[in-house]
Amino acid sequence: MKVPDLNPAGYREAVLIQNRLRKKLILQTSFDKNNVNIIAGCDNSIIKEKNLMLAGVILFKFNEAKELVIIEKTFSKGKINFPYIPGLLSFREIPTLLSAFKKLKNKPDLIFADGQGYAHPRRMGLASHLGIILNTPTIGVAKSRYIGVFKEPGKRKGSVTDLVDKDEIIGKVFRNRANVKPVFISPGHLVGMNDIINLVKMVSGKFRIPVPTRIAHIETGKFRMELLNNVKKK
């Protein structure tokens, strides 16, 4: 993945890349969830003092009780070579994510990424960008709003409202657990706006964050602790 330099020219280049990718973005797909066998969740972590970006990918399958079971985990680390700029998050986090995805033995049918997908100023958030690069369906699961306006969803688990930007529905605000802050779901690549909530409900679990990204976050945190402990031993 091309990561532009951090200067005004690089910034413009990153925006151009996103605008070009947007033309490749495919949303209007009726997604057949019966073809979903392997599900992935991914997340990043940072060791600031070492300038390290970490990434983890967790693969799941459904057992007979329709529960998610972990079948594979991969992790990766790499130098941080792009700052945090709202709108350009993918250039910071995707390179390390890709090296973790390359280590997988199995190929996921659907990826849940921690961040926005279509709910982005250029409709090209982390989840969309990742899906296009991997040519795999993705869904963005963000813990907070980036852009858009919405009505507060009902307090019950499963309540949904639209996330709207300039009169366009760009995602959904979804309460994954009763009386807890909602999450912000938006299509990534190869998944339509009408399918994302049903797909998230398949992996909702018991907590605020749906299972794939929640477990990916926890496991990547463990990976981070292991790295810090190894440094300590030396």
Partner DNA sequence: GCGACAG
Partner DNA sequence: ATCTTGTCGC
One-character DSSP codes across 184-226: EEEE-SS--TTTHHHHHHHT--SSSS-HHHHHHHHHHHHHHHH
Nearest to DNA of 62, 121 (CB atom):
121
SS3 177: coil
Q: Report, in Å, the least distance between residue 60 CB and DNA.
A: 20
Q: Report, in Å, the least distance between residue 157 CB and DNA.
A: 13
Which backbone phi and psi does 22 adopt, to 5 degrees?
Answer: -60, -30
Nearest to DNA of 125, 210 (CB atom):
125
Nearest to DNA of 14, 68 (CB atom):
14
List strands edge to edge, sheet with 138-142.
68-79, 52-62, 38-47, 110-113, 138-142, 183-187, 168-174, 160-165
Question: What would the two tokens of residue 7 be?
Answer: 């200067």
Question: What would the two tokens of residue 230 be?
Answer: 């190894």
Other beta carbons within 10 Å of 103: 12
The residues binding DNA (CB under 7 A) are 43-46, 48, 84, 86-90, 93, 114-116, 120, 125-127, 140, 142-146, 217, 221, 224
Nearest to DNA of 71, 178 (CB atom):
178
Q: Report, in Å, the least distance between residue 166 CB and DNA.
A: 13
Q: Report, in Å, the least distance between residue 13 CB and DNA.
A: 15
Q: Report, in Å, the least distance between residue 109 CB and DNA.
A: 22
Nearest to DNA of 24, 33 (CB atom):
24
